[in-house]
Structure 1
Amino acid sequence: MRRRAPPVCRAARIGLWWLLFFLCAGFSVDAASIDVKNRTLYSQNTAYCSVPGPVLISALDLKYDGNQQEFSFSLEVSSLESKANLDVSLTLYIYGENFVGMDLDLCTIMGGALCPIPSYNFTGSGTVAVPPSFASKVPTIAFNVPDIEALAVLNLTEQDTKQQMGCAQLSLSNSRTVQLPEITWSTGALAIAATATAAAATAWTDSLSALQWRVVDIVATMQSVAWVSMLTNIAPRVVHAFSLCLAWAVGLVAIEPVQTSILKTREATGSTDVDLMFAGLMEAQYSRLANYYPSEMLNMDKSAKLGTLDGLPQFDHVLSPRTLYAPNTGAGGEMDPGSPRANVVWALPMEPFSQAGAFFYLEAIPLSPYSAFLTVAVSWLLVLAVLLACGLLLVPVCVWWYGAPCPAAMRHGFDAWLRPMLLRALECASPPITTFALFQFVHSNGWVSHFGAALLCAALAAIWATVGLQQWQQVRRHGPRTLYYKNTSPYRADSAAIHYGSPSHPYRPRYWWFWAVMLLCAFLRACFVAIPQKHDYGLRQSLGLLIVDVLLLGVLIACRPACDKKGNMVMIVLTCFRLAAWILCLVLTTKVNIWGIPRAVLGIVLLAVLALAILYIFFVFVWDVSTALLSPRQRWSKRYADAETEPLCDAPGDTTLQAARDEGASRAETTP
């Protein structure tokens, strides 16, 4: 008579059914909620683009209504001159292309209240009708594509002398974005579900189910989205916004008390890189780079009306991130002059790509780039702490199941469940920890950060070297098949499959070492992402990453190292998705010289590739869950049932337990 599975395993099966239901329900998207008729542009960020002149702009917000063909504005200005009559020149850049130029006499608006400009602090708002010739030049893509790259430049010129009195740049948004909390929560739910099913499958089956290691594939796929955005390209904003939703996958979680503690620690230990730009200033710098850099190629017959940056003084100021995509507007989208506004920031001159890549990505979270490693380290240490806490919570379960404290059962639970889960967590944590450790070594200072990076990297290297050495010794003495449950009873205390075989279980015995190849590829990617920063290194980074995955794809096709056909297919398809992403990153480098609307289209394609990779691994995960629930091969193993005929805990005074164990182990090994 077939022995039934223990209650913990039946509960795991029921939990998997409910998990499958909630995942399918949670990933549904309501596309009908998208408003396709909104033709509005809002100012998202305002900054000086030249040395402030006699006219000081304290705050400026702008809204363009494409349906009504009018500008609404709200401003706060002051002037050092009492008799200055000004003209305003507006230039609109979209994806670097100079689409629109319009001149306006300030004496013709607000009933002449701005003519001459008041010599005191002046706050006002108004609406300006836009000529049809202007409105017709604004492309439809500016209203429909999420996370557009649009920049409006306003030059103030004195009417009589034609002297420049001020210059301001406004980053524009159409209120559409892919940086949605739904994406963050749904991908986070997928990772949590994969972790839960890995824990259940590890306790339920004897390494037959791919659910045990699928969490590694899921997290690695999400991490690749962040690596794409950290390359020193002028990344399409839509890709950048999407990647911010997955910053948690690499451990970049902005917990304010943790960040405050990290910053104070760095300040107290010699870091000289704590004075950083955040939010408005960083947005202004990158918006300028994303529009003026390509404008040199797109607008050869037009000159960007950007004032000189020479002599701009350094000022201390407080910057806070703009959290709304349609700021300073009422419920109906109208301008709200009384709402709090962020001050106009000072856009300091700097090297064009010094704040691109990882710097722009990290500060957009917002996190200090130089605190990134400690943030990632703390996040992954918390993950390991949660796993250890779960292991401790299982101790009462073991006591209840066996009726008394059982050191042997607890030791077996650690070897068979907790150790594999910890190794999988380390496999997920190794790429981000290595990446930001290298970033810390190359681009930051402070002995605490460097010491922590060196210590954690040494610990990771020691752990993986120990696992590899133990496996190599086992393979040399007894053959690679002893690393797998099919040839080693899961209830033997000396089982190599339990102690250190879990990293090899996704692969065939012939390629038991392939987990080391995957870690090596992750290390090479970390080198290409983290080290070349602060300059236009996008071509080198993309090419290096492409070569790594081309070589990996060749090895996967030639060797087919996975334990089954589905495993090989999943590894090959995920590698192909990464190859497509690196090729698109290569095309988006400045050396290829693709700008304007074609570049926006390539950004959408890159976003689709990254999203499809996550969608693909989600469906693979759903298939794995379904297979584990329905396939007879994934159910409670006969070998487990046989082994359970002998108690795991020693009964008081029992002297025959070891012989019974040996007999049960022999039956388990000879079972076909």
Structure 2
Amino acid sequence: MFFLARLRAIPAYCLLFLSLVHAREDSLFTSSVTYCEPPETLLIQQFDVAYFSANQSVVFNISAASVEANVYVNANLLLNVYGMNPVNVTLDLCEILGGALCPLPKYNFVGSDSISLPESLGVLDKIPKIAFHIPDLEGFAQLVLTEVGTGDVKACVQATLSNGWSTHQPAVEWATGGLALAALISAAWQSVSPEAIAPSRLLDLLYLYQTIASTSFLSLNYPSTYRAFTLNFAWAMGLFSTSSPSSLQTSINHMRHLTGGRLADATSSSAVSLVNRKLSPYNAPNSQFIATPPIIPRALEFDLSSFANFSTTSHQSSSQVFKALAVDSGAQGEVQTVTSSSSNVLQAGIPIYVNSIHIATANAFMTVLLCTLILFGIALGMFVLGYAVLMCQRVIRSDLHLPLRTYRFWICSWIFRLGIVVFPPITTFAFYQWTLKDSWLSILLSIIAFLITVSLVTYPTFVTCRLARSDSSQALYSKSEHLTLFGPFYVQYRTPRFYFFIIILVASFLKSFFTAFAKASGEVQIIAMVIIEGVVVTLHCLLRPHNTRGGDIFSTFLAIIRLVCTGLMIAFVERLNVAPIPRVAIGLVAAVIFSVAVIVTAINLAFHSGIGRIWSFRGYNTSNTSGSASESMLEKGKISNSNSSEHIGRPVNPTPEQSLPLNSHFLQPYPVSPTETVEQPSVYTRDSGTITVGSLMPRRWSFSPLNSPTNSSQAHEPSSYSSHSTNMISGSSSVPLPPPTHLP
């Protein structure tokens, strides 16, 4: 009579081999539930099961019903963990529990409780300790009911498993966003100078974020842990994680359906339940389910029979346990049917990625577009606010025409920077929207957004190249207006290498192109990405485009990071059939490498944020104040002589403490007249009243004023000659010297 009440031990057993960490307690829970075959006998509304290793207990919350009478079935239990099947047994339900499950009784079951598992099962010994702590565990439990005699499948249920750890953490999203915001403030502050480095480093940081996120857009079999890691940077591509249901996504769905959209909306449950079964976390490429001949281990037969008289009444303790779990598996929504021929299966690449944050595949572009419009709206508001402040100052002062004009150029330069930032996401998702052929309005908006975004980067490129060709590349840096407007594209590069920004833009465009239009073949995508990144690294090494060696090292470092991590993803190609555990290890290595790159970029940003210059300026002010005080006291004659108690007032000795390199031309005597040439001896003696070049000077040196130059020399001498020569000539000689020249 109590079919499902006694059948509860079967799904519970499926979940005993993994763990969930909640409140620092090793445990396990179901993260999603789906039908792997259309349901005929068993209907499930909710299926939440958790295992706690501390007391070897199972907590469940199940709502199900048996709707067909006179059905004799066998139950197959399968556990898949990283492609391995540690449990795969088939139970003849007529031979257990005293035959209470033959035939299956029609029964509605709704209940939750906690079960203590017998020690004879040895469940704790079969679970590796690492399974309790490895992030984004890949495993699922499967229950298949097949009719005796015919072998027809009457029910097939799959439940993915999780241990509570994940590399996708809101704290990481906030930290990376905070770093970008701090870099933005520093860049805005320093961008008053067109040659500031901080704005360029801001673009490098955002491009790194976008690269990390876009590496999960390819049609590859990513391990769940790496895909979850890249979700931390989805916001950099304009994909902000939304709750389910979301008013924004609901509005986009409504718009699509009114304009010819027919693709599925985002699921309210976990996207993992709809993932193609060939991919992680299922890793089951051979068949939808696996059945074996009926076999019942004797130990299992005894233990199952001990549950025959279990009550289905819900207890308060188990209810509290599930509330404490927050049943991350709980809000599963409607249990959907996912088979090899289902149209709702999520394929590798963008579909799985965007649905993991509750964004439908067909909604991806519209989400990116709306986030881009919000970004430009915020920027426009800040620009208008700054303009209003300057206009108020202009009312008070009438000489602010130049600052207002400069401010307009500054606004335009930041609009171009925003164009560089949104160029990768807009091109990627606009291209992808064209491949979906869903909603004519979405396609039209994608074309408009694509043209506007491309114009924001192609127009400055055209103007810059035209100026460099008509005049010279040096004119790009000498014309202040052009440098202020279009400097964000090329100012960080050396004059002969001003064009290097075109290489970065073309590489970004090609990556977007292959991501969208080669989605049918992951091999083509990854080969193209490796070639593109390899070419960029090679050009960095050969051209060394940056103004400083540090800039070349930093940019080359980031390029090598992109190449290495892209190369590691070759292991994720489905045709290579790399085992799940090595793929997870490679994914973790790539995540660590990218994390190191983010840390290095953050350090570089801090170095160029201006904090060091502020600190140096403070130290300079302190030392300068001390020096000024000493000089002031010397001028007033208040420095005491160590050999005398009297105060001596004397000027500071102008003799430099360090010898300066002297130009040989500087030592030539200045002619008395333009036509007269004085031949300078190679060596002078002090007795003759001249100087000796290269010889050791006396400790004490007497100074005498120079003789005034002749009228002829004054005609050819700058007015500042006398003051400079007075500071440069020492001794009793009055030999005139040439005009002062710049000392290296």
Does TM-score exceed 0.5, indicating one fold? Answer: yes
Distance, in Å, in 2 between the alignment partners of 1:232 and 1:606 is: 17
Match of 1:411?
Answer: 405
| 1:255-334 equivalences in 2 (<5 Å) | 256-273=246-263, 275-276=264-265, 278-280=267-269, 282-286=271-275, 288-290=277-279, 294-296=283-285, 304-305=290-291, 329-330=321-322, 333=325
Distance, in Å, in 2 between the alignment partners of 1:108 and 1:618 is: 65
Q: By how many angstroms is 1:115 displaced?
A: 7.0
CA change 1:155–1:264 in 2 (3 A) is closer
CA change 1:409–1:388 in 2 (3 A) is same
Q: Which has the larger radius of gyration?
A: 2
Return 451-460 or 472-481, whichever deviates more. 472-481
Distance, in Å, in 2 between the alignment partners of 1:81 and 1:272 is: 35
Q: Secondary structure at 1:72's aligned position in 2? A: strand
Distance, in Å, in 1 between the alignment partners of 2:319 and 2:217 is: 27
1:366 aligns with 2:358: yes
Match of 2:175?
Answer: 186
Q: For 1:447-486, what per-residue CA distance to the aligned partner results, in whole angstroms no more than 9, with x for missing partners?
A: 22222222222223333332122222322344222322xx
CA change 1:59–1:259 in 2 (3 A) is closer
Q: Select 1:499's aligned residue among 485, 493, 512.
A: 485
Match of 1:629?
Answer: 614
Q: By how many angstroms is 1:401 displaced?
A: 4.8
Q: By how many angstroms is 1:272 displaced?
A: 2.9
Match of 2:513?
Answer: 527
CA change 1:419–1:554 in 2 (3 A) is same
Q: CA RMSD in A?
A: 3.6
Q: Secondary structure at 1:235's aligned position in 2? A: coil
| 1:547-586 equivalences in 2 (<5 Å) | 547-586=531-570
1:473 aligns with 2:466: yes
Distance, in Å, in 2 between the alignment partners of 1:56 and 1:212 is: 58
1:129 aligns with 2:120: no
Match of 2:453?
Answer: 460
Distance, in Å, in 2 between the alignment partners of 1:386 and 1:250 is: 17
CA change 1:454–1:474 in 2 (3 A) is same
CA change 1:84–1:235 in 2 (3 A) is same
CA change 1:408–1:356 in 2 (3 A) is same
Distance, in Å, in 2 between the alignment partners of 1:527 and 1:233 is: 17
Return 99-108 or 246-255, whichever deviates more. 99-108
Distance, in Å, in 1 between the alignment partners of 2:198 and 2:534 is: 27
1:435 aligns with 2:420: no
Contact (CA 8 Å) 1:82, 1:116: kept in 2 or not? Answer: yes
Q: Secondary structure at 1:218's aligned position in 2? A: helix
Distance, in Å, in 2 between the alignment partners of 1:610 and 1:351 is: 36
AA partner of residue 235 (structure 1): Y
Match of 1:144?
Answer: 133
Distance, in Å, in 2 between the alignment partners of 1:184 and 1:291 is: 23
Give the TM-score taking structure 2 as reference length: 0.69
Q: By how many angstroms is 1:549 displaced?
A: 0.6
Distance, in Å, in 1 between the alignment partners of 2:547 and 2:216 is: 33
Contact (CA 8 Å) 1:525, 1:545: kept in 2 or not? Answer: yes
Count how many residue pairs are aligned between Structure 1 and Structure 2. Answer: 568
Q: Secondary structure at 1:234's aligned position in 2? A: coil
1:42 aligns with 2:26: no
Q: By how many angstroms is 1:436 displaced?
A: 0.6
Match of 2:85?
Answer: 98
Distance, in Å, in 2 between the alignment partners of 1:588 and 1:162 is: 36
Give the TM-score taking structure 1 as reference length: 0.76
CA change 1:598–1:101 in 2 (3 A) is same
CA change 1:578–1:52 in 2 (3 A) is same
Contact (CA 8 Å) 2:197, 2:492: kept in 1 or not? Answer: yes
AA partner of residue 65 (structure 1): F
1:426 aligns with 2:419: yes
Distance, in Å, in 2 between the alignment partners of 1:108 and 1:222 is: 58
Match of 1:53?
Answer: 40
Match of 1:640?
Answer: none
| Structure 2 residues not aligned, in runs of 5+ | 1-20, 293-317, 621-741
Match of 1:175?
Answer: 164
Q: By how many angstroms is 1:145 displaced?
A: 0.6
Distance, in Å, in 1 between the alignment partners of 2:188 and 2:140 is: 49
Contact (CA 8 Å) 1:78, 1:121: kept in 2 or not? Answer: yes
Contact (CA 8 Å) 1:149, 1:287: kept in 2 or not? Answer: no
Q: For 1:84-135, what per-residue CA distance to the aligned partner results, in whole angstroms no more than 9, with x for missing partners?
A: 5665432111122212234567799999986764413112345262654554
Match of 1:229?
Answer: 216
AA partner of residue 383 (structure 1): L
AA partner of residue 406 (structure 2): H
Q: For 1:37-83, what per-residue CA distance to the aligned partner results, in whole angstroms no more than 9, with x for missing partners?
A: 64322101011111213222332222233344444333222223455
Contact (CA 8 Å) 1:64, 1:71: kept in 2 or not? Answer: yes
Match of 1:514?
Answer: 500
1:346 aligns with 2:334: no
Q: Secondary structure at 1:123's aligned position in 2? A: strand
Give the structure with the larger helix fraction. 1
Distance, in Å, in 2 between the alignment partners of 1:431 and 1:508 is: 25
Q: Secondary structure at 1:75's aligned position in 2? A: strand
Q: For 1:187-219, what per-residue CA distance to the aligned partner results, in whole angstroms no more than 9, with x for missing partners?
A: 11111111111110112xx23431022111111
State percent identity of aligned pairs.
Answer: 26
1:378 aligns with 2:354: no
Contact (CA 8 Å) 2:22, 2:325: kept in 1 or not? Answer: no
AA partner of residue 175 (structure 2): S
Q: By how many angstroms is 1:231 displaced?
A: 1.1
Distance, in Å, in 2 between the alignment partners of 1:290 and 1:69 is: 31
